Amino acid sequence: GFEHQMGSWSPAEHRIAFTNVKAGIKDVITILRLDDRRDEHVIAVRGSNQMDPAFSPDGKWIAYASEGDSGESVLQLYLEPFPPTGAKYRLTRDGGEMPVWSRDGRRLFYRVPNFEGVPNFEGLMSAAVDLNPFPHVTERVGIPVDGLATDTTFAVSPGRDILVVIDGISASRRRTSDR
């Protein structure tokens, strides 16, 4: 069977997006309608993993990590409108995974595999996202995190863009840019 990795609730809580994982098969993102428990939309690219879905606070966009159309070895962040239109926008060039939206929907926080050009060092990034005339990043700010492990997760607080980094045992608070 499949393993399901939690992703994101839609703001109205009528849908949930999650990653379907099965050994030997590439990961896909499924968006499930909760009223009738039917798959509403699947984000899948043949030969490429899609994971870490995150609905925007207004529910009009879904950010996720993908190996792209060619199954690249480094995950990149993508953004698609929701409900889907067929449009897909790549937001990163140097890698990105585990996107988390700020409460106002103006920033995406995400993990990067190569923080500020330092090989084999992972960190977090805060990116200002402008959705008009098409989704693109206008600014990136690195957030150094000591001891960031591969299984570390993080969240953005609802009120003040405080980043909470959880390493399985302890949590730390890190103030992000006031922008």
Q: What pLDDT is attached to residue 178?
A: 47
Average pLDDT over residues 148-159: 71
Mean pLDDT, range 49-68, rounded to an integer: 93
Question: What is the average pLDDT score of the chain?
Answer: 81
Q: Is 114 exposed, middle or buried (0-12, 13-18, 19+ CB in 10 A)?
A: middle
Query: What average pLDDT does the segment 138-166 reach?
Result: 73
Q: Residue 121 has what pLDDT?
A: 58
Cβ pair 56, 101 in contact under 8 A: yes
- pTM score of the predicted model: 0.84
113 burial type by CB count under 10 A (0-12 exposed, 13-18 middle, 19+ buried)? middle
Which residues fall within 8 angstroms of residue 78, CB to CB, at 6 or more apart?
Answer: 63, 64, 65, 66, 88, 89, 90, 91
**Residue 164, pLDDT score:** 67
DSSP character string of 121-175:
--EEEEEEEE-SSS-EEEEEEEE--TT--TT-EEEE-TTT-EEEEE-SS-EEEEE
pLDDT in tens, 112-146: 876 656 665 567 888 999 999 999 999 998 887 76
Percent of the chain with pLDDT over 70: 76
